[in-house]
Amino acid sequence: MPSQRTIEVMATAADLFHAAAEEFIRAARTAIGAQGRFTVALSGGSTPKALYSLLASSYASFAWNRVFLFFGDERHVPPTDPESNYRMVQESLLSKIAIPPENVFRVSAENPDAAAAAADYEAQLRKFFELKPNEFPRFDLVLLGMGPDGHTASLFPDSAALEEQSRLVVANWVEKFKTHRITFTFPVLNRAAEIVFLASGPDKAEMIHQVLEGENSAPLPSQRVQPSDGKLLWMLDEAAAAKLKR
Ligand code: 6PG
């Protein structure tokens, strides 16, 4: 079990996203104060959209020129596609803040060759973090969600990417969706200084209970997120935490 796992439960979804925005900005201020920059990997799906909108509306004047945004995973679709995580972030955050375009690192998921898109994104990470071979990046913050099957980023149960230990980014075939997803691997996630899981709503309650309290024979992907030298924070609303023993 990671050295520092914290679970915070907020009364409502609105309270959850306010607390998550404050945590984002707190982590950003700390990193910028210490290193002059803040590196963050954003999560996709539907849950974080309200967080991104709140960051845009409540922190528009933040020092976004010191913030470097990456994507923890991406769907294998062009950036204009309704399924695109980039599009969701562009519409809810990027289009509303003064962040230099060179500070935003998008997955070239329009590339029909998903493995090539993953390799390209890995190259972008290696260049930005000035990594030597066999080195991994250390993000200041990684935002994650959790799916009803316990997946996180695009690390789905029974998928090949779960066992990847050397690459930073892979194209992961997801059988149930019959498509590839481009995703960070566990070594990248688990080297972060801070990881924040966001989960909201009653649909997540059973899996939240399994992931945080369950004794599963094989750990679920979300249970394998254990920062080796970092903070792990689960931010939930009451509905998502409803089945937790408290
Ligand atoms: C994605 C995400 C994925 C997401 C979960 C939860 O690209 O879909 O990165 O890991 O966080 O599927 O999705 P919801 O927030 O939509 O429930």
**pLDDT tens per residue across span 164-186:** 999 999 999 999 999 999 999 99
**pLDDT for the residue numbered 1:** 47
Pocket test for ligand 1, best of 40, 107, 154 (most atoms within 8 A of CB): 154
What span, in angstroms and rounded, lies between the C-alpha atoms of 16 and 236?
A: 6
93 CB-side CA count, 13 A? 25
Residue 27 C-alpha to ligand 1 middle, in angstroms? Answer: 22
Dihedrals phi, psi of 231, to nearest 5 degrees: -95, 140
What is the atom index within ligand 1 of the atom nearest the CA of 85?
7
Q: In what order do the strands lie in the sheet with 231-237?
A: 5-10, 231-237, 194-199, 141-144, 38-42, 67-71
Whether residue 172 has its Cβ less than 6 Å from ligand 1:
no
Query: What are the pLDDT tens digits along the chain (246 aa)?
Result: 445 799 999 999 999 999 999 999 999 999 999 999 999 999 999 999 999 999 999 999 999 999 999 999 999 999 999 999 999 999 999 999 999 999 999 999 999 999 999 999 999 999 999 999 999 999 999 999 999 999 999 999 999 999 999 999 999 999 999 999 999 999 999 999 999 999 999 999 999 999 999 877 789 999 999 999 999 999 999 999 999 997
Q: Rg of the Cα trace of the chain?
A: 17
Asked if residue 177 has its Cβ within 6 Å of ligand 1, the reply is: no
Residue 3's pLDDT is 57
**130-175 pLDDT, tens digit each:** 999 999 999 999 999 999 999 999 999 999 999 999 999 999 999 9
Residue 165 CB: number of other CB atoms within 10 A? 7
Which of 73, 83, 196 gets mutated to test ligand 1 (max ligand atoms within 8 A of its CB)? 73
Confidence at residue 87, expressed as pLDDT on a 0 to 100 scale: 98
Strand blocks (E) in the chain = 5-10, 38-42, 67-71, 73-75, 141-144, 169-174, 179-184, 194-199, 231-237
d(CA 15, CA 205): 17
DSSP run (H or E) holding 146: none
